């Protein structure tokens, strides 16, 4: 019960990392406000939590819409009076080609949700934390630390969230508010299915096979593994940790380049 009697707000909580996190937060005693643009899916998530004895509420929210976020913050204030944990997890991703051919509207959309959304939700909910402290957690990505082919919008957005997290940490440390981020590697989520193909599709199988043998731990991550990192950052166990971006990528960024790994057949065979 590490979050007993805490009010936790989690965006992007309908599926994937967000859903795994709200389930764990509720299990640890928190009242979880599950916010997502997909109201049907997030309502299902909240219902599952309540069926398992937890406390949860679903709320439809587009984090890129300032008016919606401000109204959401007012609702949380009127209903709960406070926020102890804020997990800015909502995000989108999509390939867009090389920079000179990258669609402007796609670049704007990704930054609007991933970066601007993190800013907006933080901006409007921070006043509910300032009188007693709390923990802000942002989802970044290993793609915010290094670049991907044809995904400059996502790289820019997640890189921005990493530094925005540090800004939160120094701006609000004196209020007892800690701000940290989690940089996942490749995690088995619906977003990966959308980007690379599902496990049933050839493209998805090829993607997972490639990820498996270039990742030192030899597999993709699970949403529940990211949720446990979020729990650590949300709880008092991380009481002297702030301004950090915690990389959880199975070791993928532990090497400089995959040179020998591309040649050494024994390395690939070890994970088959």
Report the distance separating Cα 151 and Cα 141, nearest Å. Answer: 13
Distant-in-sequence, close-in-space partners of 18: CB < 8 Å, separation ≥ 6: 10, 11, 12, 34, 36, 87, 89, 90
Distances (CA, A) of 205 to 121, 168, 181, 193, 217: 36, 39, 29, 10, 18
Is the Cβ–Cβ distance between 175 and 129 less than 8 Å?
yes
pLDDT by residue (tens digit) across 9-24? 999 999 999 999 999 9
* Dihedral of the alpha carbons of 16, 81, 59, 185, in degrees to the nearest 10: -20
What is residue 272's predicted lDDT score, i.e. its pLDDT? 63
Is the Cβ–Cβ distance between 7 and 26 less than 8 Å?
no
What is residue 9's predicted lDDT score, i.e. its pLDDT? 98
Q: What CATH code would you report for 7-193+220-257? A: 3.40.50.720
What is residue 56's predicted lDDT score, i.e. its pLDDT? 98
Distances (CA, A) of 37 to 59, 63, 113, 140, 161: 8, 8, 11, 19, 20
pLDDT: is 270 or 71 the higher one? 71
Q: What is the token pair recorded at 171?
A: 């701006």
What is residue 197's predicted lDDT score, i.e. its pLDDT? 84
Residue 144 pLDDT > 90, yes or no? yes
What is residue 192's predicted lDDT score, i.e. its pLDDT? 83
Tokens 């009697």: give the residue.
Answer: 5
pLDDT by residue (tens digit) across 171-195? 999 999 999 999 999 999 887 888 7
Distances (CA, A) of 5 to 84, 94, 100, 266, 271: 9, 38, 50, 51, 43
pLDDT by residue (tens digit) across 219-241? 999 999 999 999 999 999 999 99
Residue 271 pLDDT > 80, yes or no? no
The tally of CA atoms less than 13 A away on the side-chain side of residue 196 is 16
User: Hey, where are the domains in the chain?
Assistant: 7-193+220-257
Report the distance separating Cα 30 and Cα 42, nearest Å. Answer: 17
Report the distance separating Cα 14 and Cα 209, nearest Å. Answer: 27
Q: Which pLDDT band, with edges at 50, 70 and 90, does 212 fall under? A: confident
Q: Which pLDDT band, with edges at 50, 70 and 90, does 62 fall under? A: very high
Report the distance separating Cα 260 and Cα 272, nearest Å. Answer: 17
Catalytic site residues? 154
pLDDT: is 202 or 88 the higher one? 88
Report the distance separating Cα 247 and Cα 215, nearest Å. Answer: 13
Is the Cβ–Cβ distance between 85 and 135 less than 8 Å?
yes
Report the distance separating Cα 160 and Cα 164, nearest Å. Answer: 6
């Amino acid at each position: 019960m590490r979050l007993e009697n805490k009010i936790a707000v989690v965006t992007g909580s309908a599926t994937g990392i967000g859903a795994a996190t709200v389930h764990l937060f509720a299990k640890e005693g928190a009242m979880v406000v599950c916010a997502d643009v997909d109201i049907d899916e997030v309502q299902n998530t909240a219902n599952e939590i309540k069926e398992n004895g937890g406390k949860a509420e679903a709320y439809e929210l587009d984090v890129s819409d300032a008016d919606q976020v401000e109204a959401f913050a007012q609702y949380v204030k009127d209903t709960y009076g406070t926020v102890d944990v804020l997990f800015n997890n909502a995000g989108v991703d999509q390939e867009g080609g090389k920079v000179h051919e990258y669609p402007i509207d796609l670049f704007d959309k990704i930054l609007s949700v991933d970066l601007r959304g993190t800013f907006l939700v933080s901006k409007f909910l921070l006043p509910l934390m300032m009188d007693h402290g709390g923990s802000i957690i942002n989802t970044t990505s290993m793609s915010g630390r290094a670049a991907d082919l044809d995904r400059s919008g996502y790289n820019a957005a997640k890189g921005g969230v990493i530094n925005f997290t540090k800004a939160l940490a120094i701006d609000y440390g004196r209020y007892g508010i800690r701000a940290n981020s989690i940089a996942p590697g490749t995690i088995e989520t619906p977003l990966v299915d959308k980007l690379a193909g599902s496990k049933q599709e050839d493209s998805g199988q090829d993607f997972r096979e490639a990820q498996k043998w270039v990742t030192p731990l030899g597999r993709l991550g699970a949403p529940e593994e990211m949720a446990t990192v979020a729990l650590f950052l949300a709880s008092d166990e991380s009481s002297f940790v702030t301004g950090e971006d915690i990389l959880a990528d199975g070791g993928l960024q532990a090497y400089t380049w995959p040179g020998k790994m591309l040649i050494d057949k024994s390395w690939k065979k070890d994970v088959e």
